[in-house]
Amino acid sequence: MRINLVSDTVTKPTQEMLRFMFQAEVGDDVYKQDPTVIELETKVAEMFGMEAGLFFPSGTMANQTAIKVHTQPGEQLIADKWSHVYNYEGGGASFNSGVSCCLLDGNRGMITAEQVAGAINDPEFYHSPLTSLVCVENTTNKGGGACYDFEEFKKIKQVCDANNLKFHLDGARIWNALVVTNDNPKEYGKVFDTISVCLSKGLGAPIGSLLLSDKATIHKALRIRKILGGGMRQVGYLAAAGMYAISNNIGKLAEDHRRAKEIGAVLEKLNWVAKVEPIETNILIFSLHPNVNEAVVIEKLKQKGIAISSMGQGKLRIVTHLDYREVMHGYVLETLVRL
């Protein structure tokens, strides 16, 4: 038995999803003539109370496009020190947009309105970069799948409005957050200038993210997507996977969350585990005792057919997902106890 718990990006399309993809009506999306892509963009934009959406091959490209839309070279964005846009997008903020990052020391990847207000550079002090954008992530990847309180988003929005800043949400795992918080996704459209959402993580589609905003911003984003090489042709086959995922897989995320918490409960009882971070969704981060070698733990699990990932400094990560079934779950729990 091979069990991959490295990420929720490792899922593969089901036979039902593949059939749905093969039946898609397609056109040339570079000319905005793919009806399935248009349907997906419209549907997801409406879900989040936005005017328009734009399909991207990756969440990184969607985030980088949002940063480019909202900033000018030499300016600065504010984000948590663990944010994906800073840590895991290849330095794209500086390479693509020429902006620097003001990194805040948040709580499990989450920042507060008070922190944001304290980090904004005086726009009249021309020695410092002009602050123009705030980026937040929900759920937080490096923060262990933590979910923001929506009230904090509204407070950050007030700070942004008062200081003429744009507000972007990296919602790669927003579906997981919505299942936990039961927030109304339409409310997100009232708070954020742009939102990126991913279809290929918890929802199990093979590829795809969307950027959501008002029509004028999405029109600008279309040009930037072209510059970045993100224009694709008969991409409706992939958009169809996203349509299927949204219709069929959101409700299954609660099972991923349950299994992550059950793994965490087992880890907390093991004498070689020092700490298990709080578990809200499908990402589980735990620390080993100083005398335990993380490479040894990873290798021992690998020998048992279980793959997990290292975050460095004695921290390991487990991510549950759509392809992680109950029979696998029982085996993982038993293996951890016996390791």
Q: Report the CATH number at residue 105.
A: 3.40.640.10
The answer on 170 and 71 residing in a single domain is yes
For residue 165, give its domain range: 15-249
Domain finish residue from 196, 222, 249: 249
Return the exposure string of 30-48: e unless at least 16 CB atoms fall within 10 Å of the residue's CB, then b: beeebebbbbbbebbbbbb
Tokens of 191: 């708070």
| All residues at 6 or more sequence positions from 139 whose CB lies less than 8 Å from its CB, including other chains | 145, 146, 147, 173, 174, 176, 177, 280, 281, 283
Which three-class secondary structure state does DSSP give residue 140?
Answer: strand
CA atoms of 202 and 256, how far apart (whole Å):
8
The answer on 277 and 216 residing in a single domain is no
Give which of 315, 317, 258, 253 is closest to 284, Cα–Cα.
317
CA atoms of 11 and 19, how far apart (whole Å):
17
The total of structural domains in the chain comes to 2
The answer on 285 and 142 residing in a single domain is no
Tokens of 261: 């918490």
Give the type of residue at 114.
Answer: E
The pLDDT score that the predictor gives to residue 222 is 98
The answer on 151 and 60 residing in a single domain is yes
The answer on 272 and 201 residing in a single domain is no
The answer on 319 and 236 residing in a single domain is no
Residue-wise pLDDT tens for the chain (339 aa)?
Answer: 799 999 999 999 999 999 999 999 999 999 999 999 999 999 999 999 999 999 999 999 999 999 999 999 999 999 999 999 999 999 999 999 999 999 999 999 999 999 999 999 999 999 999 999 999 999 999 999 999 999 999 999 999 999 999 999 999 999 999 999 999 999 999 999 999 999 999 999 999 999 999 999 999 999 999 999 999 999 999 999 999 999 999 999 999 999 999 999 999 999 999 999 999 999 999 999 999 999 999 999 999 999 999 998 889 999 999 999 999 999 999 999 998
The pLDDT score that the predictor gives to residue 312 is 87
The pLDDT score that the predictor gives to residue 1 is 76
Tokens of 212: 């959501």
The Cβ of residue 105 has, within 10 Å, a number of other Cβ atoms equal to: 9
The answer on 170 and 262 residing in a single domain is no
Question: Between β-strands 131-137 and 273-276, what pairing exists: parallel, antiparallel or unpaired?
Answer: unpaired
For every residue of 57-114, DSSP letters joined together read S-HHHHHHHHHHHH--TT-EEEEETT-HHHHSSTTHHHHHH--EEEEE--BTTB--HH
Domain finish residue from 215, 230, 249: 249
**Alpha helices for 192-322 (secondary structure H):** 215-227, 236-248, 253-267, 294-303
Give the CATH number for residue 291: 3.90.1150.10
- In contact, 241 and 247? CB cutoff 8 Å: no
Tokens of 230: 């993100």
- In contact, 23 and 184? CB cutoff 8 Å: no
The answer on 194 and 51 residing in a single domain is yes
Domain finish residue from 249, 271, 304: 249
Largest CA distance in the chain: 62
The pLDDT score that the predictor gives to residue 170 is 98
Give which of 187, 93, 87 is closest to 137, Cα–Cα.
87
Question: Between β-strands 209-213 and 166-171, what pairing exists: parallel, antiparallel or unpaired?
Answer: unpaired
The answer on 307 and 209 residing in a single domain is no
The answer on 199 and 74 residing in a single domain is yes
The answer on 278 and 204 residing in a single domain is no
Tokens of 234: 């008969």
The answer on 228 and 282 residing in a single domain is no
Which three-class secondary structure state does DSSP give residue 264?
Answer: helix
